[in-house]
Chain A
Amino acid sequence: MSILTSKDTRVVIQGGPAGVNAARRMAEFCHLSRIPFNVSAFVFPPDAGKTVEIPCGSTLVSVPTFSTVEEATKADPGINTSLIYIGPSRAYDGTMEALKDPKIKLVSMITEGLPEKDAKKLRIESERLGKTFNGPSSIGIISAGEARLGVIGGSYDNLVLCKLHRQGSFGVITKSGGLSNEIMWICSQFANGITTAIGIGGDTYPGSDFSTYLEMFENDPQTHAVVMVGEMGGDLEEKAAAWFAAKKRRIQLIAVVSGYCQEELPKGMKFGHAGAKEGLHGEGSARAKAEALQKAGALVPATFGGLGPAIKKTYEALLAGGKLTTVAEDAVPQNLPKTIEEAIADGDVFVEPLVKSSICDDRGDEPYYSGYPASELINKGYQIPHVIGLLWDKRLITPVESEIVKRIVMLSADHGPCVSGALVTIIAACAGIQMAQSVAAGMIMIGPRFGGAVTGAGTWFKYAVENKLSVDDFLSYMKQNVGPVPGIGHRVKSLRNPDKRVKELVIFVKSQKISTPHLDFALAVEEKTTAKKDTLILNVDGTMAAVLVDLGFKVEALNGFFILSRTIGLIGHWIDQNQQGSRLIRLFKYLANYVAPKKREVPPL
């Protein structure tokens, strides 16, 4: 047995993400106690019609979201409890809605910062309707082994430690959320655990209060004693004392009250909860409350530290008096299923990886490029070319290599709006396409005829140098087996109209003290091909390819240098068109040569 909430409780949670989090916690408790999940619905108008998936054990349960409590209780007429996770400005209306629903018997409000007047009105309305209104600012209610409303009880480990999967004999009523947990822990350490624990919230005017719940505990045969944690301020503890003293009670009462410090501190200094304040004329002091409770026959330890021994004493007396017998503990409660991450961390499972990565490790607090922390590279003055070297070739390139790579990137960053890549990006930009898609469209143009010959050129120059082919042998091999030599030839550039980019690059590379067999070979090839035809020069792709192979880059990486460089230009073109507010481009008809058949009649089908 228990009070307020039991195995028959079915819950609607009113509110957004905080309510969903609570539902997850409640599902953990249901798993621990081996009972069905008891949250039937959410009421959250912005998400009405959607479902929320809550992990229950190793499965997911779909919980529907409605826009009103009425819809929720119609969908599941078993709903009898509502939890309020609505912000303070709308919590009053939401709670009223729940209280007025004939199916709802208990409303517990988690919301903090509800105006006092609203709390008072809700309590009075709930009493009129014969319902229970718990809170505001309540951490929740838990009946061991039967139901958990809210996050009361905390983490799964704590639920296990506090033996909350099965009923004990102690009821708990506290204002403080943290202390409700503490008392449940003490009851499990020093006695046999709890029946039901209730957080009533620390506001000035809580809904249902100590006396109401004491009366309920009195009528619950499973509960033999109640631990009550009070605070200075208000008169609820005095009322509880009056209730306890009114007649002979079956339950025993153990109570502590906080706020003695108020006697020695500046008057009016506010401590702890909103409700924890003495009256202006000294009413509601901790001492007065403790004395009232003691006089009423409650066991009142002088300090919080005395609570454990007092609970122990009460428990032992109950055992000695034959009211209780010790029962063997159930088997160890089941564990919460681990997430795959937890299981891996604990070494419980082996998972075959799906992807292998050998260049970058992001499992720490920053990426490591081929083992080097990115921040250290920055701080030690390394540059973008070094990052390229690390991610494309897994090595820290030398300063000379870095300078050459930098120059290659700078020289190929853009080549005006007319080349196919830029043109396509510009057309896309003018059609209102976003940056990523427009740039990607331009990049699709990179291939054998535009910018994509670097890998091809590198491959064949490397083949020639590796096999020590003469230029003539190479050219005839290419002619027979491959076709035109990649990296040789240009649409507009020629011997008389040389490509300045190539010239600059070659001069710089040759001025460095590095061995350049591939560049030398490529230049020798150019000498032969330009003798045949003026435009068969070593173009920028071919030059880059030869130089990069000389620097030791793998041929697979070579096209990347052009793609990377030209992306800078393509992004620039997209920004440029957007800033100009360019209009849609349409090809003029006179630029199209229409050679399709003339109009003719469509024959019958």
Chain B
Amino acid sequence: MAKVLEGPGMGLLAKWGMPVPHYVVITEAAQLDALAKANPWLIESKLVAKAHEAIGSRMKLGLVKVGLDLDGAREAAKEMLGKAVSEVTISQVIISEMVDHQDEYYIAAQSTREGAELLLASMGGIEVEANWEKVRKLAISLGSEPTGTELEKLAKDAGFEGDLVGKVAQFAAKLYRCLDEEDGTYLEVNPLVLRASNGELTALDAVTMVDADARFRHPDWNFTFASEFGRPYSDNEKAILEIDTRVKGSVKFIEIPGGDTALLPAGGGASVYYSDAVLAMGGTLANYAEYSGDPPDWAVEALTEKVCSLKGIKRIIVGGAIANFTNVKKTFSGIIKGFRKAKAEGKMEGVSIWVRRGGPFEKEGLAAMKVLENEGFDIHVYDRYTPLTDIVDYSIKGVSA
């Protein structure tokens, strides 16, 4: 699953015949003047300016401005562009027309194990969250198309009346098609409104998530994916993401400022058990990280450097289950290099390291790690005979078994 920002998300809806407001994405406020010459709506309509970044609660942060004229939009864009919001610099602003409307509705399509489902409510905006039980659903099994009758029934059940029933059913059919054809995993239009000027259902705002793994069959996906956790990726995260796309296996890294325990575990499954164990023991996570699939040692080294650079950490958990084919000696050599570099840069002061691992070449890997004991590291090395997450208990209780 991968999130697509508003601009390209709107583009996907429009591609499949769903009306969306006019919009432009700009990187400099001055671009608006040239755009206004080609797009009369920028002059004729009231405008909305929003920071075009994966930042949560944009409204609260003052990153959404409504009811603007062109000058107001230019001012808003100028103010937002280049502004730093929680370590992220805003680099794009989306300017869209305000669509004159009365009622707001909610519609979504999401992928399910059996196929997909459509979700529909005759109320939109934040009201739908508060009245979630009023949302009506229609399951669509894989490979089939919802019939007009089914869609109209869904609309009626959700409380739509009159000619709106047919309009909503048609919009729903398009939304489903878009989900199916674009390998969508979740498409949410909230609010969906009736444009007063022409009586057309229009998607005012959209959450768009697609299956990143399907990229190979969508050559027209010219967008990059945005983060899904309410803030854009940091530079450190981007650096590891970039490595991840290039190497065999995987390396993952997400920062969580303020935590006392850094994770450097192996395996998508084990890493989550390590995260759980840290919290269960009363620790706080400084990051999430994971490497798996026998990545090259230099990639693990790069990940290690990022982990060691986390501010305010007291301990690093180098955990892992018994690998199937990841070479413990080779991946550990990357970690060891990273540790040595971090120590030379003075980053390991007051940081303890806790290691537990098994798998191919485990003896050699663990022995190499143990050598760090003699180099002034506060390091504790355990083998397969110590249960997986016990090192977390030892590290936080400060007891070495």
List the interface of chain A (C-beta within 8 A of B): 25, 88-89, 112-117, 120-121, 124, 139, 151-155, 158, 161, 174-182, 185-186, 202, 204-205, 229, 231-232, 234-235, 256, 258-261, 264-274, 276-277, 280-281, 286, 302-305, 307-308
Contacts and interface: CB of A to CB of B under 8 A. Distances in A.
Interface string B272-288: 11011111100001001
B295 interface: no
* Best-surrounded residue of A175, A261, A269, A277 (most CB of chain B within 10 A): A261
B324 interface: yes
11 contacts: A151-B324, A153-B324, A158-B322, A176-B270, A178-B323, A185-B322, A260-B276, A264-B279, A268-B230, A276-B272, A304-B388
A291 to B, nearest CB: 15
Contacts of B292: 177-178
Contacts of A116: 111, 183, 185, 211, 213-214
Interface of B: 1, 111, 113-115, 132, 142-143, 180, 183, 185-186, 211, 213-214, 216-217, 228-231, 254, 256, 266-273, 275-280, 285, 288, 290, 292-293, 320-326, 358-361, 384, 387-390, 393
Contacts, number: 187
A520 B360 CA distance: 68
B229 A266 contact: yes
Contacts of B270: 176, 178-179, 182
A261 B276 contact: yes
A570 to B, nearest CB: 41
A190 B320 CA distance: 19
B229 A117 contact: no
B359 A155 contact: yes
A161 B256 CA distance: 38
Contact of B269 (A153, A266, A273): A273
Contacts of B321: 176, 178-179, 181-182
Contact of A305 (B269, B272, B323, B393): B393
Given A152-B324, A182-B321, A276-B268, A305 B277 contact: yes
Nearest to A186: B387
Contact of A303 (B132, B183, B186, B277): B277
B229 A88 contact: no
A120 B278 CA distance: 35
Nearest to A308: B387
A114 B186 CA distance: 18
A235 B388 CA distance: 26
A122 B337 CA distance: 43
A181 to B, nearest CB: 4
Contacts of A178: 266-267, 269-270, 292, 320-324, 326, 359
The 7 closest A-B pairs by CB, nearest first: A176-B269, A178-B267, A178-B321, A115-B214, A182-B321, A261-B275, A258-B272
Nearest to A115: B214
A139 B324 contact: yes
Contacts of A205: 113
A410 B214 CA distance: 62
A373 B203 CA distance: 71
Contacts of A268: 228-230
* Best-surrounded residue of B143, B216, B266, B324 (most CB of chain A within 10 A): B324
A204 B1 contact: yes
Contacts of B323: 154, 178, 181
A156 B41 CA distance: 69
* Best-surrounded residue of B113, B217, B271, B358 (most CB of chain A within 10 A): B113
B252 to A, nearest CB: 9
Given A178-B321, A204-B1, A265 B269 contact: no
Contact of A185 (B275, B326, B384): B384
B237 to A, nearest CB: 11
Given A117-B183, A120-B115, A303-B277, A271 B271 contact: yes
B389 A305 contact: yes
Contacts of A272: 268-269, 271-272, 290
A178 B273 CA distance: 12
B290 to A, nearest CB: 7
Nearest to A231: B272
Contacts of B390: 305
B213 A114 contact: yes
Contact of A267 (B229, B267, B388): B229
* Best-surrounded residue of B132, B186, B269, B359 (most CB of chain A within 10 A): B269
Contact of A151 (B183, B276, B325): B325
A270 B185 CA distance: 15
Contacts of B256: 265-266, 269
Contacts of A264: 279, 285
B277 A179 contact: no
A261 B272 contact: yes
Given A116-B211, A258-B273, A304-B387, 4 more contacts: A121-B143, A231-B269, A261-B275, A303-B276
A183 to B, nearest CB: 9
Nearest to B275: A261
Nearest to A152: B324
A316 to B, nearest CB: 18
* Best-surrounded residue of B132, B276, B288, B359 (most CB of chain A within 10 A): B276
A88 B269 contact: no
Contacts of A117: 111, 142, 180, 183, 211, 214
Contact of B183 (A115, A161, A185, A308): A115
Contacts of B132: 281
* Best-surrounded residue of A176, A258, A272, A286 (most CB of chain B within 10 A): A272
Contacts of B186: 280
Nearest to A174: B269
A120 B324 contact: no
Given A176-B270, A178-B267, A178-B270, A277 B322 contact: no
